[in-house]
């Protein structure tokens, strides 16, 4: 196995303290939003196998020998690339309100933009690749987010209690149509409204939310970060979710969501495909967004890990590109054998465990090629990322 060096990305919404506190390093004063662990070309992990070549990108090592690193089954099923990207995510302010396409939508959208010659780095490009992006976030601290649509009646009540005249047409729409049509009509109207009129509506709604507090406090906070943004109203259509440490949330295709605050371990299929609904200065492609969003009310399904006899605590998800589990190692416990025929990344988030002969501290991680002996010992908490091949 190989110790990983990983890049921390300084997105503006990142916390200035959460990742440094976990790593035991001084804060820089700049936001530190995500630490990427994997082989994504945007910021691949690096490792040194001691052959005099120094540190190499994990992506280059996999490219040079995909079956040796990923195993035959993984390579046959997903191709010659690591199918997942693991992250430490630290939200100090709200991320953009967004959705991800399913696999067919991603393939179609990517092919269409390629055919039309849209540069892959163009700010109005929607599809950076032909893959879907299901994801799972597991809280390390209390974690706050938005996930999936509320029932139309519930959303109507939330908007009505703000007592803002400009919101009353949306309340009427939510009452006037069946669920799917009501949610589609209102989101379409919010995102298609005159920008100046919507900015004034958001300002008035934010002031009312600030006065009311309670259930409205998250939306008042969002509005302080994104004054006048139509995403503030769109956010009120969604369920507000609070995770406790160890709890997780799975986000499938077409489900609108946003992370608001907290530190977590995130894992996703290896994709950059994001369609934004608001809370961002970036491009919002409303027609394509409306094609991707699933307009159905859902109750957020908060996941808690299922423990096995081996001590592995698994977060069950319905997809194969990633499999996330956790080991909590108590003093004096016997070593855990994690050897498997799929590739693994092991990430320490607490304590002082050992992965094989490598000592880990919080934030430390290793890559284990398929079939290589992998053993955990010592004390602490280790997340295990692999695939279902």
Neighbours of 299 (CB within 10 A): 10
Please report where in the chains the tokens 């090592």 appear, as a residue: 61
Give per-residue pLDDT as tens, 118-133: 998 899 999 988 999 9
pTM for this entry: 0.94
Instruction: Give the per-residue pLDDT at 207.
Output: 97
Give per-residue pLDDT as tens, 328-351: 999 988 999 999 999 999 999 999
Q: Measured between alpha carbons, how far is residue 223 from residues 51, 203, 232, 237, 252 in Å?
A: 53, 8, 6, 15, 26
In words, the CATH class of domain 317-386 is mainly beta
Beta bridge partners of 261: 144
For the ranges 28-32, 268-272, 339-343, which has the lowest average pLDDT? Answer: 268-272
Q: Measured between alpha carbons, how far is residue 163 from residues 156, 168, 254 in Å?
A: 11, 8, 30
Confidence class for position 41, pLDDT limits 50, 70, 90: confident
Instruction: Give the per-residue pLDDT at 51.
Output: 78
Q: What is the DSSP string of 146-165?
A: EEEEPPHHHHHHHHHTT--G
**Tokens representing residue 303 in the block:** 């996941």
Mean pLDDT (the chain) is: 95
Instruction: Give the per-residue pLDDT at 389.
Output: 86
Residues 151-176 have a mean pLDDT of 97
Residue 204 has pLDDT above 90, yes or no: yes
Neighbours of 58 (CB within 10 A): 25
Of the residues 46, 81, 150, 276, which is catalytic? 276
Confidence class for position 381, pLDDT limits 50, 70, 90: very high
**176-215: b or e for each residue (b if 16 or more CB lie within 10 Å)?**
eeeeeebbebbbbebbebeeeebbebbebbbebbeeeeee
Give per-residue pLDDT as tens, 284-323: 999 999 999 999 999 998 999 998 888 999 999 999 999 9
Residues 175-204 have a mean pLDDT of 96
Residues 352-370 have a mean pLDDT of 97
Instruction: Give the per-residue pLDDT at 319.
Output: 93
Give catalytic status of residue 276 as yes or no: yes
**237-273: b or e for each residue (b if 16 or more CB lie within 10 Å)?**
bbbbbbbeebbbbbbbbbbbbbbbbbbbbbbbbbbbb
Measure the CA–CA gap between 113 and 129, rounded to whole angstroms. 10
Confidence class for position 42, pLDDT limits 50, 70, 90: confident
Residue 53 has pLDDT above 90, yes or no: no
**Higher confidence at residue 271 or residue 67?**
67
Instruction: Give the per-residue pLDDT at 272.
Output: 84
Give Cβ neighbours of residue 276 (< 8 Å, ≥ 6 apart): 96, 97, 98, 282, 283, 284, 289
């Amino acid at each position: 196995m190989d110790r990983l060096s990983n890049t921390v990305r300084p997105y503006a919404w990142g916390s200035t303290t959460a990742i440094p506190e976990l790593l035991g390093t001084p804060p820089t004063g700049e936001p530190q939003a995500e630490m990427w662990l994997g082989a994504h070309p945007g910021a691949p992990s690096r490792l040194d196998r001691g052959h005099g070549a120094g540190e190499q990108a994990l992506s280059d090592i996999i490219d040079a020998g995909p079956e040796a690193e990923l195993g035959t089954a993984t390579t046959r099923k997903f191709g010659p690339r690591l199918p997942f990207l693991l992250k430490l995510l630290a939200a100090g302010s709200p991320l953009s309100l967004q959705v991800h396409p399913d696999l067919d939508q991603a393939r179609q959208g990517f092919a269409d933009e390629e055919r039309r010659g849209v540069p892959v780095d163009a700010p109005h490009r929607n599809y950076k690749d032909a893959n879907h992006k299901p994801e799972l976030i597991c809280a390390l601290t209390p974690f706050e987010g938005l996930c999936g649509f509320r029932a139309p009646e519930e959303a109507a009540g939330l908007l009505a209690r703000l007592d803002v005249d400009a919101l009353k047409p949306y309340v009427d729409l939510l009452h006037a149509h069946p669920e799917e049509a009501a949610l589609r009509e209102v989101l379409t109207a919010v995102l298609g409204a005159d920008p100046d009129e919507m900015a004034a509506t958001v300002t008035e709604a934010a002031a009312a939310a600030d006065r009311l507090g309670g259930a409205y406090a998250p939306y008042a906070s969002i509005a302080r970060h994104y004054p006048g943004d139509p995403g503030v109203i769109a956010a009120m259509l969604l369920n507000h979710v609070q995770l406790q440490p160890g709890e997780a949330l799975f986000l499938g295709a077409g489900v609108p969501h946003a992370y608001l605050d907290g530190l977590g371990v995130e894992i996703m299929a290896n994709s950059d495909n994001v369609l934004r609904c608001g809370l961002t200065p970036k491009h919002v492609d409303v027609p394509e967004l409306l094609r991707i969003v699933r307009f159905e009310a859902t109750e957020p399904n908060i996941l808690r890990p299922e423990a096995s006899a081996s001590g592995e605590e698994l977060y069950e998800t319905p997809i194969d590109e990633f499999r996330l589990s956790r080991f909590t190692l108590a003093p004096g416990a016997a070593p855990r054998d994690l050897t498997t025929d799929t590739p693994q990344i092991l990430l320490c988030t607490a304590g002082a465990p050992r992965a094989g002969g490598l000592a880990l501290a919080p934030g430390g991680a290793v890559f284990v090629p398929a079939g290589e002996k992998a053993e955990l010992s010592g004390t602490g908490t280790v997340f295990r990322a692999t695939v279902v091949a």
